[in-house]
Amino acid sequence: MKKAVLLPLLLIGLLLPFTACSDSDNSNETNPLVGYWHIADNGRIVSLRIEENGTGKAAIYTYNGNEWNIDNLPLQYTIADGHIAIKAGNDYTLSGKMAITGASLSITDNGNVTMFTGYDGGDSIIKILQMNIENNFTQGGGNDAGGDDDGNNDGNNDGNNDKDDEIIILPSVSKEDLFQTEAHVLAALAATYINIVSFEAAQLNLENIIITGKDMTGVPRSITATMPEIEECWTNAYKAINQCNTIIEYANEEYGKYADEAKALRCFLYYNVAHLWGKAPFITAADVDIATSLPVHEQYELFNIIYDEIEMLLPYFENSIAGNYRIDAGALLAIQAEIELSVGNKSVACELLSRCQPNFSLSINENQKELFSIFGNKITLYTPKYVELLTQEAQAAENLPALWNEKSGSSYGYWAMLKRIGKADIEYKLMPIPENELTFNPNLTQNPGY
């Protein structure tokens, strides 16, 4: 059987060993392997759907220069002693030691590493990867990994198209090498957006508890420093921040626009961290352990850093990335306006808001069943309606909470607005710092009321 090559896709953060449960293990913990994973290179994209019961499906997308061919294959896998063996159809096999951290799945066999990236199972990420492969093809690179320019996807120059070939694994590569291609950087960016969805869902759930005394599913709750949702929200924020830092630090200079997008996402994340907790560590390097004694910045310091970074980013954003499910210039201007509103500079906020028409929401796939049941197909963030409400706040409109409930269609920003106009419970203007973080980082102190 002929052999083709798939390069490793993505390495984000420190890979931690994952050991599967044995047959005698009755634990109800969620299996982190279950879900969707993808890898792409050399004109081919492989998407795996892993089910709990040892089965699943594989979709293999191959580009021939004119159109995409898709093979949908049944999948079976087994796990023993931390090793996994995957078989899809008759040709696709993969086995080795498994490790999972965040949105990364590595399978290592004799020093060779195959790296998959988790995603929501939707078409949007696959389409981004397809567009990148198509662009490379039209620019002369093709998907001819063999380099003989014969128009065939012949990675080993054996004269055969590798569509029917067995897949083997190349040796492990460094992060620097992994981020040298646009496909890898885009995949890392897509994984970052997925983790931001998790952070935003956790944030909105906590804010709903503060405002209504119930979580997003309607269960009565109260906020405490020891509740797992607080730790989850904090952890999700810094996990996404680390992914941004990884892209910024390792992406090839040729793909600087994606590093700028990661910087913009980091501003969005830190703005919300400052809004939620007031003070927090500010980390700009990749792979920094958050559970250590890190310097802590006060809210006003975080706001100043965010504001200045957005000011530097705006010239690159205003004529580039459109919004929808990616951050845009309008969202960045709106964040600056929110910071101005927080310190009472309403006229400056009005000027900023007059310049922006944002269109930034976060996509949720129906396969994310719990989130989909709560939020539908997206979490709405920065929209023209949101700007209209911020403008009314800057103009000191009356009955702003009622206007917000009538027009916004989203709870994002509602608690922040209540705090700015003095309508939030004074005792709970900040979330509690997670108790574990107080133990790890002596520079952190608990917020009032907890």
Residues 194 and 162 in one domain: no
Q: Can you tell me the distance from the alpha carbon of 60 to that of 37, in angstroms, rounded to the nearest whole number?
A: 12
Q: Can you tell me the distance from the alpha carbon of 230 to that of 265, in angstroms, rounded to the nearest whole number?
A: 21
Q: What is the b/e burial string over 173-199, where b = at least 16 CB atoms within 10 angstroms of the residue's CB?
A: eebeebbbbbbbbbbbbbbbbbbbbbb
Residues 111 and 199 in one domain: no
157 in any annotated domain: yes
Which CATH number do you get for residue 212? 1.25.40.390
User: What tokens were used for 228?
Assistant: 């797992």
What would the DSSP string read from start to end of 220-285?
B----TT-HHHHHHHHHHHHHHHHHHHHHHHS-GGGHHHHHHHHHHHHHHHHHHHHHHS-B----S
Residues 265 and 351 in one domain: yes
Residues 146 and 253 in one domain: no
Domain interval for residue 210: 183-440
Residues 9 and 130 in one domain: yes
Q: Could you count the other beta carbons within 10 Å of the beta carbon of residue 96?
A: 20
* Residue 403 and residue 392 in contact, taking contact as beta carbons nearer than 8 Å: yes
- Which has the closest alpha carbon to 326: 198, 196, 177, 175? 196
**What integer pLDDT is reported at residue 206 of this predicted model?**
94
* Residue 6 and residue 167 in contact, taking contact as beta carbons nearer than 8 Å: yes
Residues 252 and 373 in one domain: yes
Residues 204 and 257 in one domain: yes
Q: Can you tell me the distance from the alpha carbon of 311 to that of 333, in angstroms, rounded to the nearest whole number?
A: 9
Asked which of 136, 152, 173 is the last residue of a domain, the reply is 173
| Angle at CA of residue 218, ends 215 and 223, nearest 5° | 25
Which CATH number do you get for residue 93? 2.40.128.360
107 in any annotated domain: yes
**What integer pLDDT is reported at residue 177 of this predicted model?**
64
Question: Residues with Cβ < 8 Å from 303, sequence gap 6 or more?
Answer: 271, 274, 339, 342, 343
DSSP single-letter state for residue 1:
-
Residues 103 and 75 in one domain: yes
What's the domain count of the chain? 2
Q: Could you count the other beta carbons within 10 Å of the beta carbon of residue 61?
A: 19
DSSP single-letter state for residue 442:
T
305 in any annotated domain: yes
Low-confidence spans in the chain with pLDDT less than 70: 1-30, 102, 124, 135-178, 319-324, 366-367, 407-410, 425-428
Residues 169 and 196 in one domain: no
64 in any annotated domain: yes
Residues 89 and 215 in one domain: no
Residues 276 and 372 in one domain: yes
Asked which of 149, 173, 197 is the last residue of a domain, the reply is 173
Question: Residues with Cβ < 8 Å from 98, sequence gap 6 or more?
Answer: 18, 20, 33, 79, 82, 83, 84, 105, 106, 107
- Which has the closest alpha carbon to 250: 188, 316, 315, 314? 188
450 in any annotated domain: no
Task: Say which amino acid occupies 333.
Answer: L
389 in any annotated domain: yes
Question: Tens of pLDDT along 406-417?
Answer: 765 568 999 999
Q: Characterize the bridge pairing of strands 3-6 and 166-169.
A: parallel
- Which has the closest alpha carbon to 358: 336, 327, 337? 327
356 in any annotated domain: yes
User: What tokens were used for 128?
Assistant: 């981004």
Residues 119 and 12 in one domain: yes
447 in any annotated domain: no
Distances (CA, A) of 428 to 6, 424, 445: 52, 7, 15
Q: Can you tell me the distance from the alpha carbon of 426 to that of 414, in angstroms, rounded to the nearest whole number?
A: 16
End-to-end Cα separation, the chain, in angstroms: 65
Question: Tens of pLDDT along 296-342?
Answer: 999 999 999 999 999 999 998 876 655 568 999 999 999 999 999 99
Q: Can you tell me the distance from the alpha carbon of 220 to that of 209, in angstroms, rounded to the nearest whole number?
A: 8
Asked which of 131, 151, 173 is the last residue of a domain, the reply is 173
The pair phi, psi for residue 81, each rounded to 5°, is 55, 40
